[in-house]
């Protein structure tokens, strides 16, 4: 396996051609059905490795039929005039976390393949089923690690998904085999104790890491390792990892780091986008205001692109990662473009354009950055049917104005996107977004509570799920998003601090969605999701008790769009007060809160907890 990967690396970085430029006319069969066939004329073609000027690309049956100058095609074959434009292979984002509408959003921006590094297993299985049935031509193709390998309580377990963890090398092969049975295309392993961010969490030991990598290789699967520090990166490479899922921002690269990676024939997905956001700068802010992209961004995308991670107690700098990329280039290490969307500062699809820009800022030439998002990941992940423009390959294509081989930001000026030869209807998508934005512009603006001095929301002592202002408490489940979770609520005797009553919230999380939920919701306005200015208060506090599980408080804001910010709490056997500042919910100041929820999920199973004395402070 290592020798095959090394051969792929040599092919990519030796810039060897995958095909000969076709100049002779193609053979034309008179009785051939050319429906769905088209030819792109006169484009500047970046084929994944090199630039071909004024070149034609003929597509038929979802694949590239011919590439060359002045191709002779049947008269009934549709022509796309691409003079002055640049044709690229469909982009590959080598590090994402996909769910919901992520794959649709990705394709709108030219990403036709996403390499997911951790999501819900049922989502992966359903998506792959639809891909096999040809029902996903308006969405990026998905390859996924599915569930990641981590220690009990380690990174990856904090999101509420049910994670089968490992504690010893002896568990490695069975763990890998279970992931492959679920449909994992490669194995994702976490080595990160959170020390880079001033925290601490359990992580896999080196023997278990090595055992997992060997178990993956035994089954012919790549092993990709998430790291947090330069020390983690060295450990992962020395253990035999095929690739790193991040670079580090804790220290400048040691002089021999890239030589170490090269000697082990590994690849690196730097994720400069997210490392810039980790360092305190909202990496995607320039994307949100770029007119070439903005009209295709949802309000949620814009909000997330303008966010960065909260300030950590340690000193982190994206410059360290950029220095490392330059070092990797010098040693001919394959560098892959990946965004880690949808973390703060990123969004699916749009952020690959920022990632390529940052790779150029780190020392790659524009053609090398384009290769990092096309042919290089295709070779590294053995996706032999894509990543290049050549006869017989998938017709996953991106047509842009201008010349991104000179100005990498030209990839943002998209003319058309095709997946398997089917053009994405970007105009309809844009029109639907414009309607949504118009509706939002005419929606009620944030109001203030009728009595802003009121701090208590609910104590339930009247025996009903009422509130002092806003709506009453109501059930909310993932059924509105196609889930099957169920919930119940009732006012019960015995509240916190000797009060008469509390609200009991219970139910069953189906787990069919990676973001499954069920619980109760309250809105501060007269109707659900009417925003209210609660900025005179700084936090929400409540008492809770229950079955010992971890639950979530979700806060919806107008600026945050459809995606709520969340914080967790544990409901143990005794009443316990929890206070959470508004700022913990993606940095909101409380000026446009539209709903607050207490929910179970996304981990599957039964849940039951009580809440009482819910107060704004």
pLDDT tens string 36-48: 799 999 999 999 9
Answer for the pair 273, 351: CB distance below 8 angstroms, yes or no. Answer: yes
In tens, the pLDDT along 304-316 reads: 899 888 778 888 9
* Beta bridge mates, 566: 554
* Angle of the 206-218 helix axis to the 230-238 helix axis, nearest 10: 50
Report the distance separating Cα 275 and Cα 358, nearest Å. Answer: 11
In angstroms, what is the C-alpha Rg of the chain?
26
Query: Does 282 share its domain with 147?
Result: yes
In tens, the pLDDT along 198-251 reads: 888 899 999 999 999 999 999 999 999 999 999 999 999 999 999 999 999 999
Report the distance separating Cα 27 and Cα 74, nearest Å. Answer: 10
Answer for the pair 543, 586: CB distance below 8 angstroms, yes or no. Answer: no
- Structure-model confidence comparison of residues 392 and 536, the more confident one: 392
H-helix segments, 63-185: 102-108, 121-132, 172-182
Query: Does 427 share its domain with 491?
Result: no
Report the distance separating Cα 176 and Cα 305, nearest Å. Answer: 35
**Domain end marker among 436, 464, 494:** 436
Domain membership flag for residue 442: no
Average pLDDT over residues 145-149: 97
Phi, psi of 561 (to 5 degrees): 70, -145
pLDDT(317) > 60: yes
Report the distance separating Cα 131 and Cα 140, nearest Å. Answer: 10
Phi, psi of 127 (to 5 degrees): -65, -45
- Structure-model confidence comparison of residues 128 and 525, the more confident one: 128
Question: Residue 132 maps to which CATH number?
Answer: 3.20.20.140
pLDDT at 489: 96
Report the distance separating Cα 352 and Cα 461, nearest Å. Answer: 53
**Domain end marker among 436, 470, 496:** 436
Domain membership flag for residue 16: no
482 confidence band (pLDDT: 50, 70, 90): low
Query: Does 410 share its domain with 497?
Result: no
Give per-residue burial for 421-443: e unless 16+ CB within 10 Å, then b: bbebebeebeeebeeeeeeeeee
pLDDT at 300: 84
Query: Does 234 share its domain with 301?
Result: yes
SS (H, E, C) 581-595: EHHHCCCCCCCCEEE
561 confidence band (pLDDT: 50, 70, 90): low
Answer for the pair 391, 64: CB distance below 8 angstroms, yes or no. Answer: yes
Query: Does 219 share its domain with 302?
Result: yes
pLDDT at 512: 66
Q: What is the mean pLDDT of the chain?
A: 89
**Domain end marker among 408, 436, 464:** 436
564 confidence band (pLDDT: 50, 70, 90): confident
Question: Residue 500 maps to which CATH number?
Answer: 2.60.120.430
394 confidence band (pLDDT: 50, 70, 90): very high
Indicate the number of domains in the chain: 2
Residues of the chain with pLDDT > 90, as a percent, come to 75
Of 506, 536, 532, nearest to 605 by C-alpha is: 506
Burial of 391 (0-12, 13-18, 19+ CB in 10 A): middle
Domain membership flag for residue 554: yes
193 confidence band (pLDDT: 50, 70, 90): very high
Report the distance separating Cα 528 and Cα 522, nearest Å. Answer: 8
Query: Does 254 share its domain with 391?
Result: yes
Answer for the pair 59, 65: CB distance below 8 angstroms, yes or no. Answer: yes
Domain membership flag for residue 416: yes
Phi, psi of 551 (to 5 degrees): -125, 180
Say which residues have a Cβ less than 8 Å from residue 478's Cβ, sequence separation at least 6: 484, 485, 510, 513, 515, 516, 517, 518, 601
pLDDT at 309: 83
pTM, 2 dp: 0.77
Average pLDDT over residues 108-136: 95
Answer for the pair 285, 307: CB distance below 8 angstroms, yes or no. Answer: no
Report the distance separating Cα 457 and Cα 495, nearest Å. Answer: 15
Query: Does 479 share its domain with 423?
Result: no
Which of 96-110, 358-372, 556-570 has the lowest average pLDDT? 556-570
Average pLDDT over residues 559-588: 87
558 confidence band (pLDDT: 50, 70, 90): confident
Strand 422-423 relative to strand 267-268: parallel, antiparallel, unpaired?
unpaired
* Beta bridge mates, 487: 507
Query: Does 336 share its domain with 475?
Result: no
pLDDT at 30: 31
For residue 283, what are its two tokens?
């990496």
pLDDT at 588: 84
Query: Does 462 share its domain with 420?
Result: no
- Structure-model confidence comparison of residues 494 and 24, the more confident one: 494
pLDDT(19) > 90: no
pLDDT(431) > 60: yes
CA angle, 538 then 274 then 582, to 5°: 5
pLDDT(596) > 90: yes
In tens, the pLDDT along 436-446 reads: 777 766 766 55
List for the chain the helix, strand, coil content (%; round to 5): 25, 25, 45
Of 359, 370, 355, 362, nearest to 403 by C-alpha is: 370
Q: Helix, strand or coil for residue 471? A: coil
Answer for the pair 269, 244: CB distance below 8 angstroms, yes or no. Answer: yes
pLDDT(277) > 90: yes
Given the structure tokens 């390859």, which residue do they identify? 143
514 confidence band (pLDDT: 50, 70, 90): low
Answer for the pair 607, 551: CB distance below 8 angstroms, yes or no. Answer: yes
For residue 584, what are its two tokens?
């913990």
pLDDT(152) > 80: yes
| E strand spans, 180-219 | 187-191
Domain membership flag for residue 156: yes
Q: Helix, strand or coil for residue 378? A: helix
In tens, the pLDDT along 340-387 reads: 999 999 999 999 999 999 999 999 999 999 999 999 999 999 999 999
Q: How does DSSP classify residue 252?
A: P
Query: Does 411 share its domain with 481?
Result: no
- DSSP per residue, 19-55: SPPB-SPPP--TT---TT-EEEEEEEEE-SSSEEEEE
530 confidence band (pLDDT: 50, 70, 90): confident
Answer for the pair 534, 491: CB distance below 8 angstroms, yes or no. Answer: no
Residue 18 CA: distances (Å) to CA of 14, 21, 56, 230, 377? 12, 10, 17, 35, 15
Domain membership flag for residue 268: yes
pLDDT at 449: 56
Say how many C-beta atoms besides its own lie within 10 A of residue 451's C-beta: 9
Query: Does 214 share its domain with 105?
Result: yes
Domain membership flag for residue 49: no
Domain membership flag for residue 295: yes
Report the distance separating Cα 401 and Cα 88, nearest Å. Answer: 11
pLDDT at 454: 60
Residue-number span of the structural domain to which 532 is assigned: 456-616
pLDDT at 244: 98
Query: Does 198 share its domain with 332?
Result: yes
75 confidence band (pLDDT: 50, 70, 90): very high
């Amino acid at each position: 396996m290592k020798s095959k990967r090394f051969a792929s690396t040599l092919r990519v970085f030796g810039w060897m051609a995958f095909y000969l430029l076709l100049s002779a006319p193609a053979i034309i069969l008179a009785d051939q059905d050319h429906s769905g066939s088209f030819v792109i004329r006169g484009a500047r073609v970046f084929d994944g490795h090199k630039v071909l000027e004024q070149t034609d690309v003929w597509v038929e049956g979802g694949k590239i039929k011919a590439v060359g100058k002045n191709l002779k095609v049947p008269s009934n074959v549709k022509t796309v005039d691409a003079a002055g434009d640049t044709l690229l292979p469909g982009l590959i984002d080598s590090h994402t976390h996909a769910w919901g509408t992520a794959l649709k959003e990705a394709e709108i921006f030219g990403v036709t393949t996403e390499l997911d590094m951790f999501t819900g297993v049922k989502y992966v299985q359903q998506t792959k089923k639809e891909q096999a049935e040809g029902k996903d031509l308006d969405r990026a193709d998905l390859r996924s690690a599915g569930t990641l390998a981590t220690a009990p309580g380690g990174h990856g377990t904090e999101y509420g998904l049910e994670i089968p963890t490992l504690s010893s090398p002896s568990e490695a092969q069975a763990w890998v085999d279970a992931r492959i049975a679920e449909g994992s295309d490669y194995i994702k392993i976490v080595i990160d104790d959170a020390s880079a961010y001033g925290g601490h969490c359990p992580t896999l030991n080196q023997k278990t890491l090595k055992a997992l990598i060997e178990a993956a290789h035994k089954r012919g699967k790549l092993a990709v390792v998430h790291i947090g520090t330069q020390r983690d990166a060295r450990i992962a490479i020395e253990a035999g990892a095929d690739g790193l899922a991040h670079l580090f921002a804790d220290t400048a690269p040691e002089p021999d780091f890239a030589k170490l990676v090269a000697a082990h024939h590994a690849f690196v997905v730097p994720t400069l986008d997210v490392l810039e956001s980790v360092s305190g700068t909202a990496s995607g802010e320039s994307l949100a205001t770029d007119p070439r992209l903005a009209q295709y961004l949802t309000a949620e995308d814009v909000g997330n692109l303008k966010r960065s991670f909260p300030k950590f107690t340690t000193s982190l700098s994206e410059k360290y990662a950029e220095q490392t990329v330059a070092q990797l280039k010098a040693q001919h290490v394959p560098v892959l473009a990946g965004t880690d969307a949808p973390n703060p500062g990123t969004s699916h699809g749009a952020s690959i354009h920022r990632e390529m820009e940052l790779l150029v800022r780190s020392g790659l030439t524009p053609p090398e950055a384009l290769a990092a998002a096309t042919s290089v990941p295709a070779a590294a992940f053995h996706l032999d049917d894509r990543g290049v423009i050549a006869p017989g390959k998938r017709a996953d294509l991106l047509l842009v104005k201008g010349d991104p081989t000179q100005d990498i930001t030209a990839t943002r000026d998209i003319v058309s996107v095709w997946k398997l030869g089917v053009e994405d209807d970007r105009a309809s998508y844009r029109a639907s977004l414009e309607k949504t934005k118009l509706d939002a512009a005419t929606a009620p603006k944030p109001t203030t509570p009728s009595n802003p001095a009121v701090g208590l929301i609910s104590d339930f002592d009247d025996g009903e799920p009422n509130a002092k202002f806003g709506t009453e408490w109501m059930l909310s489940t993932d059924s509105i998003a196609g889930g099957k979770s169920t919930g119940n609520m009732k006012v019960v005797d015995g509240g916190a601090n000797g009060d008469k009553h509390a609200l009991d919230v219970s139910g069953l999380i189906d787990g069919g969605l990676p973001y499954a939920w069920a619980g109760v919701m309250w809105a501060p306005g007269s109707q659900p999701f009417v925003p209210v200015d609660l900025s005179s208060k700084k936090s929400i506090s409540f008492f809770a008790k229950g079955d010992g599980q971890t639950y979530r408080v979700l806060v919806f804001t107008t600026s945050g769009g459809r995606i709520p910010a969340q914080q967790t709490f544990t409901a143990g056997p005794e009443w316990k007060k929890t206070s959470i500042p508004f700022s913990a919910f993606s940095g909101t100041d409380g000026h446009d809160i539209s709903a607050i929820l207490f929910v179970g999920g996304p981990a599957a199973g039964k849940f039951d907890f009580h809440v009482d004395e819910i107060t704004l402070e």
